[in-house]
Amino acid sequence: MNFEMSQLLPVLPEIFVLGMACVILLVDPFLAEARRSVTYLLSLGTLVGAFLLTARLYGEAEQVVFSGFFVLDGMAVLLKLTAYVAVAAAFLYAPRYLREREMLRGEYFVLGLLGLLGMMILISAHNLLTVYLGLELMSLSLYAMVAMQRDSVLASEAAMKYFVLGAMASAMLLYGMSMLYGLTGTLDLAEIHTAIAGGSGQPVVLAFALVFIIIGVAFKLGAVPFHMWVPDVYHGAPTTVTVYMSAAPKLAAFAMLMRLLVDGLGGLHGQWQEILIIITLLSLAVGNVIAIAQTNIKRMLAYSAISHVAFMLLGVLAGTEAGYASGLFYAVSYALMSLASFGMVIFMSRAGFEADNLEDYKGLNERSPWHAFLMLMVMFSMAGVPPFLGFWSKLFVIQAAVQADLVWLAVAAVVFSVIGAFYYLRVVKLMYFDKPADSAPLEAGWGMRMTISANALAMLGLGILPGPLMALCIAATAG
């Protein structure tokens, strides 16, 4: 492979994250337990450095480097910047929770950074091989993170389920990619798009390849009927891992959806739109209806995540630039909302107590009016209540669906959104109208309190002024 040194500039953030992950991996074993904060600070510093390096690249023209394996465009920059924020928030939430469970080791931060590296590669993939490599690096890191709590039966079971089902989904995705390669003779997404537009390949084989690829993408998104792992893994994993995997990997999965279906298989829009419509309807129904029956808040939020994925798909399947921008806006918005919701679960937890049952939130307003208000904002935002961020994200994707003459699907989304509002408002009712079941003080340092406050207030701030973020999403998906 021949390339100039100037081609290294678009991949500097990836090189920096990889280098720092290796440094932290080497340094951490030599640190005494009392100096474990060094690993934590180095990890946060890595994210700050990667953010600055990526921000420098914002606004530059699209660049395809390394013989077409890697692309840097507006969508890649925006998703990477959001992923850094999401991982940083997960790291900020983690120390107290991990320390109280004797899990505060370098593995969480190193695996988190390597998982982020996989997301970054996946977000900038311009080749089927790069897509698969980024996906596997991210997935292998997540499998290990879910299994970190080795003395927990729930965590071990969740990790095994996630690994086995993830391996099957990856195999199906790879099989679909191999069929595409056989039909088009190339791994480059742009060349695949050109070949399909030119009528290359056998329609039947192409249809099979499309189905296998959608199965792989839908599994990583957690969409129905490939959602089986979501509630069990979200529930069984340590909450610090759940907050990590509920936000940043969704951004990478959205990028994979865009790269494969829009950039690579855009010529088959009519075919994959029909499949995504079915997946969207099933995800809306299953996610919102089954969430009502949950008494565990992590499982409730897991089914909620399935319904939110349906709204992301709703924007993409519209097949318009407005749809792609609204889908990107929804992916970014959901990442922030998910961080805040699981962040509150971590905030409420303490040594020997996991605040993962809905009853644990009874009377929170009496114990801490400020944090009850923060949780209220998060729940209202996820339910789509104005003026919070979640309202605009739902509105934009529904508008895109209507403009694409999918009015009936937009109506179905509104109906299921109203149904879904019940389980979010139930949490608010428990906090404000029930007596507290636990009078123990809420234990958290100032860093945790500031992070959860900033995260929740962002739902209100971005809801009042959604224009700048939407403008970024429109610019990122233009062309």
Residue 169 CA to residue 222 CA, distance in Å, equals: 11
Residue 76 CA to residue 79 CA, distance in Å, equals: 5
What is the predicted pLDDT for the residue at 3?
57
What is the predicted pLDDT for the residue at 479?
62
For the chain, the structural domain boundaries read: 5-477
User: pLDDT by residue (tens digit) across 386-410?
Assistant: 999 999 999 999 999 999 999 999 9
Which phi and psi (to 5°) does residue 332 adopt?
A: -65, -45
What is the predicted pLDDT for the residue at 104?
85
pLDDT in tens, the chain (479 residues): 455 667 788 999 999 999 999 999 999 998 887 788 899 999 999 999 999 999 998 888 888 988 889 999 999 999 999 999 999 999 999 999 998 888 888 899 999 999 999 999 999 999 999 999 999 999 999 999 999 988 889 999 999 999 999 999 999 999 999 999 998 889 999 999 999 887 766 888 899 999 999 999 999 999 999 999 999 999 999 999 999 999 999 999 999 999 999 999 988 888 999 999 999 999 999 999 999 999 999 999 999 999 999 999 999 999 899 999 999 999 999 999 999 999 999 998 887 788 889 998 999 998 889 999 999 999 999 999 999 999 999 999 999 999 999 999 999 999 999 999 999 999 999 999 998 877 777 777 788 889 999 999 999 999 999 999 999 999 999 86
* Three-state secondary structure readout of the chain: CCCCHHHHHHHHHHHHHHHHHHHHHHHHHHCCHHHCHHHHHHHHHHHHHHHHHHHCCCCCCCEEECCCCEEECHHHHHHHHHHHHHHHHHHHHHHHHHHHCCCCCHHHHHHHHHHHHHHHHHHCECEHHHHHHHHHHHHHHHHHHHCCCCCCHHHHHHHHHHHHHHHHHHHHHHHHHHHHHHHHCCCEHHHHHHHHHCCCCCHHHHHHHHHHHHHHHHHHHCCCCCCCHHHHHHHHCCHHHHHHHCCHHHHHHHHHHHHHHHHHCHHHHHHHHHHHHHHHHHHHHHHHHHHHCCCEHHHHHHHHHHHHHHHHHHHHHCCCHHHHHHHHHHHHHHHHHHHHHHHHHHHHCECCECCCEHHHHCCHHHHCHHHHHHHHHHHHHHHCCCCCHHHHHHHHHHHHHHHCCCHHHHHHHHHHHHHHHHHHHHHHHHHHHCCCCCCCCCCCCHHHHHHHHHHHHHHHHHHHCCHHHHHHHHHHHCC
